[in-house]
């Protein structure tokens, strides 16, 4: 059986074989466990983008200590920080049921409203009471020290009044997928 969407399709067995992802960043590795059972479409989207090397070279463009770190925007690769946070893969897909809370280490989709998921995601730095608007599709299982290090990076105003733009580039060099 396949899971399909605007991102393409993937067999459930292949998705299960790729339920772990290691974000190799300039600050160290973060190992994620994807929730392929409760959020198969969101996990499939992430896996297929990773298999296409979509995330390679993308920066963490939004860092908010004690809240979250955000990445996944291909526009962060260019030299114009003003457009960081506005890009995606060229499609959007529907939100899946949100199960769980936004606790430390939670992996969730960033979006501009319901059913506007694309490629951007965030990792929760400290427990937060966000409204249930962001699909939780995994968690950090190793590398929270790296999340902490990224969250501690100096930031500046992003040009829209939010102090969240890193003053130093933090880049996803590669995403490695595995079954364990």
Q: Domain ranges in the chain?
A: 2-178
pLDDT digits (tens, 9 = 90+) for 12-69: 999 999 999 999 999 999 999 999 999 999 999 999 999 999 999 999 999 999 999 9
The phi and psi torsions of 121 (rounded to 5 degrees) equal -145, 165
Is the Cβ–Cβ distance between 139 and 124 less than 8 Å? Answer: no
77 DSSP 8-state letter: G
pTM score over 0.85: yes
Structure tokens, 106: 């939670």
Is the Cβ–Cβ distance between 84 and 59 less than 8 Å? Answer: yes
Give the Cα separation of 5 and 94 in Å (integer).
9
pLDDT digits (tens, 9 = 90+) for 112-162: 999 999 999 999 999 999 999 999 999 999 999 999 999 999 999 999 999
CATH classification for the domain delimited by 2-178, as one of 2.40.100.10, 2.40.50.100, 3.90.1200.10, 3.40.50.800:
2.40.100.10
Q: How many CB atoms lie within 10 A of CB 175?
A: 22
Cα 20–chain centre separation: 13
89 DSSP 8-state letter: S
């Amino acid at each position: 059986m396949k899971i399909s969407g605007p991102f393409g399709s993937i067999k459930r067995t292949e998705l299960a074989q790729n339920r772990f992802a290691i974000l190799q960043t300039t600050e160290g590795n973060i190992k994620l466990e994807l929730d392929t059972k409760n959020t198969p479409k969101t996990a499939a989207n992430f896996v297929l983008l990773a298999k296409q090397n979509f995330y390679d070279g993308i920066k963490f463009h939004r860092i908010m200590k004690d809240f979250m770190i955000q990445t996944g925007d291909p526009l962060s690769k260019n030299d114009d920080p003003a457009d960081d946070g506005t890009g995606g893969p060229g499609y959007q897909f529907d939100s899946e049921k949100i199960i769980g809370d936004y606790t430390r280490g939670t992996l969730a989709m960033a979006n501009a409203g319901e059913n506007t998921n694309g490629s951007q995601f965030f990792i929760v730095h400290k427990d937060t009471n966000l409204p249930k608007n962001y699909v939780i599709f995994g968690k950090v299982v190793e590398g929270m020290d790296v999340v902490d290090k990224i969250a501690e990076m100096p930031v500046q105003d992003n040009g829209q009044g939010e102090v969240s733009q890193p003053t130093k580039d933090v880049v996803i060099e590669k995403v490695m997928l595995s079954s364990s």
